[in-house]
Amino acid sequence: MIWNTLLIALREIRRNLLRAFLTILGIVIGVLAVVTMVTLGNGATQAVSAQVASLGSNLLMVMPGQRLGPGRDSAGAPSFKLADAEAIRAQIPGLAGVAPMASSQVTVVAGGQNWSTTIQGSSRDWFHAGAWKLASGRLFNEGEERAGAAVCVVGERVRKELFGKQDPVGSQIRVKQFVCDVVGLLQAKGQSGMGRDQDDVVVMPLRTVQRRLTGSQDVAGLMISVRDGVSTSKVQQQLEGLLRERRHIADLEQDNFNVMDTRQIAETLSGTTQVLTALLGAVAAVSLLVGGIGIMNIMLVSVTERTREIGIRLAIGALEQEVLLQFLIEAVVLSSLGGLIGILLATGLSMVLADLMQVPYAFDPGINLLAFGFSAAIGVIFGYFPARRAARLDPIEALRHE
Amino acid sequence: MSLLSLQSVTKTYGQGQAAFQALAGVDLAVEAGDFVAVMGPSGSGKSTVMNILGCLDTPSSGSYLFQDVHVENLDRNQRALLRRHYLGFVFQGFNLLARTSALENVELPLLYRGEPVAARHAAARAALEQVGLAGWETHNPAELSGGQQQRVAIARAIVTRPTVLLADEPTGNLDTRRSHEIMELLTRLNLELGITVLMVTHEPDMAAYARRVVHFVDGRVDSDQRNTPRETPA
Ligand SMILES: Nc1ncnc2c1ncn2[C@@H]1O[C@H](COP(=O)(O)OP(=O)(O)OP(=O)(O)O)[C@@H](O)[C@H]1O
Ligand SMILES: [Mg+2]
């Protein structure tokens, strides 16, 4: 009975190709939209968390101004000085390193190649805090830091642009009016989630940058790494106390700097992308619903014709359950075909879009199953239940159906 | 014991004011192997009685015995199996599956009987040939004339070699020559295979092939006569 009914169901699909096509199309569109949007949203979330993880875990960022984010008021806030970094290092226990930072966007030249990049001035602690590893050469030493020597460590991207595949250690690059010895090459970290290339950087001692590039004693920010097992919130409190004192902030005045835990930043950012994913998912769910309504329409429009068909089959001697099984098979075949095509297209589309948007492609079996299940359910419900009503009629009533 | 028998069968359509009694107490017994023509004016209840005999419809009251089984006591599936294994029905309105080739329409009852592919195809082709439609196997109902559709419907009813063949105006759309061919086919099936035939017709010429003629008027059996069937040319 199963095989004959399967044959009958497949014949019925074949002879109504347009109806089959429209049913499949409805499901394909719904599944495609949901799976693609949610997959991309997940990719964006992953990218953000990956980027934050690459910052290192127990990090505090200290910036002048009141808070992070758009519209922050840093205009009146004085920047830091090197002495602040030294005071922090001396007075706050439990720190692994304090990296004062000053940076500048400049064009660097080597071997006839130009490349515009970020010059990051800092101390050796910067490498540790950012969890950087050397690919070759060495970091600058304490003497060079103190002297503000013209030495630098370059990122992988800068190496690629200026030196191609060669090892740059021992070569020189020209930065504005001065020439700088390359002493080390950093291992690649790759693209960050926000589309910024973290390897596109040249690191020099802070003094060198201050003297030769920014021309001031200002430190734009501090990156402080806390030892494992030390509470970052406690360190954060101590930092705030110390800096308020050093910056002469009265008791009732607000801070004119802010200290952020990178974990907090991570949570904020991934919170945002999760909201975005949920939003995209909601939009996509609507398209799934629209696809479902399309299917429902097709099924309901064909009910008259199909009721007559059911009448004929019953009159010829088909059992009610055979007719129902036939309709169930038709619905399942069409919806799963639509679901599969939808998932395949969605996989391709999300790979292409993930590549364009520079976020990782994150396959999520859950959403694929969910979209598939939902569309299959729609197909089955609207294919099967009208048929069930018709199959319960006397054959003659089904045949008379207008 | 008769093969089919109706006892005080009534059929009422609608309810209350709009109620209409299509059958007003029909008693009719048909012996195995008989060839019965059902005649009567339009609206006299011929199709209604055929539908009840074909287990497609249920009487409002009275009883219907198939052999010695009370059909009104059978459930839906049992009636479906009765149709599948014992009955062949030719509808007044053909009722072929749309967009389905003549061959597939004809083999459908065999599919539900679970016949293997080869037997199904052979039997369906033979049935189409018997109604003069050899070569039309792949045509859809929409590509066939009314008479051709009617013959596909007849082929579908006889392909299973049913115990009883119920035909509601099987020659209604056919020219005289085709009508006689179909009647000769029914006569052959009746004589050679012992298939009991009940046939509704308006044409005395066609009724002349039957051995018994039952007249309906206003939902009742008005007359019931034995008939000497006309000679079928050898
Ligand atoms: N579904 C229905 N609802 C209401 N009345 C019906 C229904 N089916 C048939 N009738 C009525 O029952 C009566 C008998 O109908 P039936 O189809 O049996 O006539 P018939 O003898 O086959 O006529 P014809 O020769 O025109 O085919 C008719 O008056 C018809 O109007
Ligand atoms: Mg009629």
- What ipTM was assigned to the predicted interfaces of this complex? 0.94
Task: For residues A224 and A88, give the distance between their C-alpha atoms in angstroms, rounded to a whole number.
Answer: 9
Band (pLDDT 50/70/90 cuts) for residue B158 is very high
Pairwise CB contact (< 8 Å): A399 & B95: yes
B13 lines ligand 1 (CB under 6 A): yes
- Co-location of A183 and A278 in the same domain: no
Band (pLDDT 50/70/90 cuts) for residue A298 is confident
Distance (angstroms) between ligand 2 centre and the Cα of B179 equals 18
pLDDT one-digit tens code per residue, A239-259 = 899 988 888 888 878 888 888
Show residues of chain B in contact with A1, CB under 8 Å. 114
Chain B stretch 165-204, residues whose beta carbon is closer than 8 A to a beta carbon of chain A: none
What pLDDT is stored for residue A55 in this prediction?
Answer: 62
- Co-location of A215 and A82 in the same domain: yes
Q: How far is A342 from chain B (nearest CA, A)?
A: 29
Domain for residue A187, yes or no?
Answer: yes
Task: For residues A350 and A362, give the distance between their C-alpha atoms in angstroms, rounded to a whole number.
Answer: 9
Of A8, A311, A318, the CB nearest to B80: A318
What pLDDT is stored for residue B184 in this prediction?
Answer: 92
Q: Which residue is closest to B82 within chain A, CA to CA? A: A317
Nearest CA, atom 1, ligand 1: B13
- Co-location of A154 and A284 in the same domain: no
**Domain span at residue A275?**
2-51+267-400
A400 to chain B, any CB pair closer than 8 A? The answer is no
Report how many domains make up chain A: 2
Asked if residue B229 has pLDDT above 90, the reply is: no
Band (pLDDT 50/70/90 cuts) for residue B234 is very low
What pLDDT is stored for residue A2 in this prediction?
Answer: 79
Last residue of a domain, one of A217, A235, A255: A255
Q: Which residue is closest to A6 within chain B, CA to CA? A: B111
Asked if residue B233 has pLDDT above 70, the reply is: no
Last residue of a domain, one of A233, A255, A277: A255
Q: Which residue is closest to B100 within chain A, CA to CA? A: A15
Render the burial of A138-168: b for 16+ CB within 10 Å, e for the rest.
ebbeeebbeebbbbbbbbbbbbbbbbeeeeb
- Co-location of A223 and A326 in the same domain: no
B171 lines ligand 1 (CB under 6 A): no
How many percent of chain A have pLDDT more than 70? Answer: 94
**Which range, of A21-35, A43-57, A302-316, averages the lowest pLDDT?**
A43-57
Domain for residue A37, yes or no?
Answer: yes
Show residues of chain A in contact with B111, CB under 8 Å. 4, 7-8
Mean pLDDT of chain B: 93
Which residue has better confidence, A63 or A304?
A63
Listed residues: CB within 5 A of ion ligand 2: B 47, 92
B73 lines ligand 1 (CB under 6 A): no
What pLDDT is stored for residue A247 in this prediction?
Answer: 87
- Co-location of A238 and A303 in the same domain: no
Contact status, residue A30 vs residue A371, Cβ threshold 8 Å: yes
Band (pLDDT 50/70/90 cuts) for residue A194 is low
Domain for residue A302, yes or no?
Answer: yes
A145 to chain B, any CB pair closer than 8 A? The answer is no
Band (pLDDT 50/70/90 cuts) for residue B48 is very high
The letter for the amino acid at A95 is L
How many percent of chain A have pLDDT more than 90? Answer: 28
Asked if residue B72 has pLDDT above 60, the reply is: yes
Q: Which of B11, B42, B48, B50 to mutate to test the pocket of ligand 1 (most atoms within 8 A of CB)?
A: B48
Q: Which of the ligands is closest to the CA of residue B45?
A: 1
What pLDDT is stored for residue A294 in this prediction?
Answer: 79
A319 to chain B, any CB pair closer than 8 A? The answer is yes
Q: Provide the CB-side half-sphere exposure for B20 (13 A, CA).
A: 9
- Co-location of A41 and A120 in the same domain: no
- Co-location of A159 and A193 in the same domain: yes
Nearest CA, atom 26, ligand 1: B42
**Which range, of A153-167, A271-285, B31-45, B75-89, averages the lowest pLDDT?**
A271-285
B45 lines ligand 1 (CB under 6 A): yes
Nearest CA, atom 16, ligand 1: B45
Asked if residue A111 has pLDDT above 70, the reply is: yes
**Which range, of A324-333, B159-168, B207-216, averages the lowest pLDDT?**
A324-333
- Co-location of A220 and A132 in the same domain: yes
**Which range, of A3-17, B19-33, B140-154, averages the lowest pLDDT?**
A3-17
Of A4, A7, A320, the CB nearest to B76: A320
Q: How far is B131 from chain A (nearest CA, A)?
A: 19
B47 lines ligand 1 (CB under 6 A): yes
What pLDDT is stored for residue A312 in this prediction?
Answer: 95
What pLDDT is stored for residue A253 in this prediction?
Answer: 80
The letter for the amino acid at A205 is P
Distance (angstroms) between ligand 2 centre and the Cα of A25 equals 43
Select, from the ranges A24-28, A48-52, A298-302, B201-205, the one with the highest average predicted confidence (pLDDT).
Answer: B201-205
User: Is CATH 3.40.50.300 correct for B4-226?
Assistant: yes
**Which range, of A9-23, A46-60, A247-261, averages the lowest pLDDT?**
A46-60
Pairwise CB contact (< 8 Å): B113 & A399: no
Contact status, residue B28 vs residue B5, Cβ threshold 8 Å: yes
Q: Which tokens hold the place of B218?
A: 């206003």
How many percent of chain B have pLDDT more than 70? Answer: 98
- Co-location of A184 and A298 in the same domain: no
B42 lines ligand 1 (CB under 6 A): yes
What pLDDT is stored for residue A7 in this prediction?
Answer: 87
Show residues of chain B in contact with A13, CB under 8 Å. none
A399 to chain B, any CB pair closer than 8 A? The answer is yes
Domain for residue A366, yes or no?
Answer: yes
What pLDDT is stored for residue B165 in this prediction?
Answer: 97
Band (pLDDT 50/70/90 cuts) for residue A310 is very high
Atom of ligand 1 at shortest distance to CA of B202?
A: 25
Band (pLDDT 50/70/90 cuts) for residue A331 is confident
- CA-CA-CA-CA torsion for A198, A199, A205, A207, nearest 10 degrees? -50
A316 to chain B, any CB pair closer than 8 A? The answer is yes
**Which range, of A81-90, A314-323, A367-376, B105-114, averages the lowest pLDDT?**
A367-376
Contact status, residue B146 vs residue B179, Cβ threshold 8 Å: no
- Co-location of A347 and A388 in the same domain: yes
Task: For residues B158 and B152, give the distance between their C-alpha atoms in angstroms, rounded to a whole number.
Answer: 10
Instruction: Look at the pTM and tell me if it is higher than 0.80.
Output: no
Query: Would you list the domain boundaries of chain B?
Result: 4-226
Last residue of a domain, one of A220, A255, A290: A255
Asked if residue A264 has pLDDT above 80, the reply is: no
For chain B, what is the HEC assignment?
A: CCCEEEEEEEEEECCHHHCEEEEEEEEEEECCCCEEEEECCCCCCHHHHHHHHCCCCCCCEEEEEECCEEHHHCCHHHHHHHHHHHEEEECCCCCCCCCCCHHHHHHHHHHHHCCCHHHHHHHHHHHHHHCCCCCCCCCCHHHCCHHHHHHHHHHHHHCCCCCEEEEECCCCCCCHHHHHHHHHHHHHHHHHCCCEEEEECCCHHHHCCCCEEEEEECCEEEEEEECCCCCCCC
* Residue range A88-105: mean pLDDT, rounded: 90
Q: How far is A312 from chain B (nearest CA, A)?
A: 6
Asked if residue A275 has pLDDT above 50, the reply is: yes
Domain for residue A57, yes or no?
Answer: no
A302 to chain B, any CB pair closer than 8 A? The answer is no
A-interface mutation test, from B85, B90, B112, B138, most A Cβ less than 10 A away:
B112
Distance (angstroms) between ligand 1 centre and the Cα of B27 equals 18
- Co-location of A214 and A333 in the same domain: no
